[in-house]
Homo-oligomer: A and B are copies of this chain.
Amino acid sequence: MKFTNRNVAISPTAKIGQNVRIGDNSTIYDNVEIGDDSIICNDCIIGEPLNSYYRDSSYENPPTVIGAGSVVRSHSIIYANCSIGREFNTGHRVTIRENTVIGDHCSVGTLSDLEGDIQIGSYCRLHSNVHISQTSSMGDFVWMYPYSVMTNDPFPPSYDIKGGHVGSYTQVCVHSIILSGVQVGENCLIGAASVVNRNLPDYSLATGDPARVIKDLRKYVVMGKGRPYPWMYRFDRGMPWKGIGYDSWANGARQKTPEGEAAQTAGKK
């Protein structure tokens, strides 16, 4: 039904792994490497040339890597000089600009816009319509929800571009803003529509504009639910501790499962 080789263009210098499928109307530019068993859906552009291409006749496309077992959904654009791990997943119409490094087992949702020069760990989940500005970074197991933003300019417009950082396991809820240079700790929960304008310690439950820490997240009790955070004790879909529990994985069982093996680097960070 799909993958009929209609209007597909693949550069002769691209390295396409075993059992990779490329969708109709997609373009794979020079020096792209796509890992085995990956699927690039229709109307995608992989290895989009950098801006200098348009005016420099001696331009050579830098390498672009997408790991094995990935699925890039239709109309997505991934620029050259990105390095993305295995089991990567996207929604539709994702944009990932150059010099972005993404670990293994990450997903980026429909319409999300990664502006380039970004560092993302492993097992991160960016939902639809997340905007990450240049020089931002996040740890592992970070989840960000629709219309959340990481900004990078403290006094716009300026030359002092400085992205923020979101620590591992932190959840950034819908419509929240992490302002330029802010360091959000690990294992935080940033409530919907918050504006985070200062650093937050680990385990912060923070909300509001400007965001204030209203509780240690470990002490957050919900009637009938107990303590929902840290979330890793009640949620394991797609996570390396699936079936063994977070503590077992964190305490070393991780290397005993294939999932855990892949996550070793992630877990050690």
Contacts and interface: CB of A to CB of B under 8 A. Distances in A.
Contacts of A91: 95
Interface stretch (A71-79, A98-106, A240-248, A253-261): A71-79
Interface string A45-77: 100110001100000010000000001001101
A145 B155 contact: no
A75 to B, nearest CB: 7
Given A54-B39, A128-B115, A74 B45 contact: yes
B146 A131 contact: yes
B95 A95 contact: no
Contact-size category for A:
35 or more
A235 B157 contact: yes
B7 A27 contact: no
Interface string A1-36: 110101101010000000000001101011000000
Contacts of A128: 113, 115, 131
Nearest to A146: B131
B171 A193 contact: no
A63 to B, nearest CB: 14
Nearest to A91: B95
A193 B1 CA distance: 43
A179 B192 contact: yes
A9 B29 CA distance: 22
Q: Which of A1, A27, A111, A115 has the most CB of B within 10 A?
A: A1
B110 A95 contact: yes
Closest 9 CB pairs of A and B: A155-B228, A131-B146, A193-B195, A156-B171, A157-B235, A113-B128, A149-B174, A177-B192, A110-B113
Interface of A: 1-2, 4, 6-7, 9, 11, 24-25, 27, 29-30, 39, 42-43, 45, 48-49, 53-54, 61, 71, 74-75, 77, 91-93, 95, 110-111, 113, 115, 125, 128-129, 131, 143, 145-147, 149, 151, 155-159, 171, 173-175, 177, 179, 189, 192-193, 195, 208-209, 222, 225, 228-229, 231, 234-235, 237
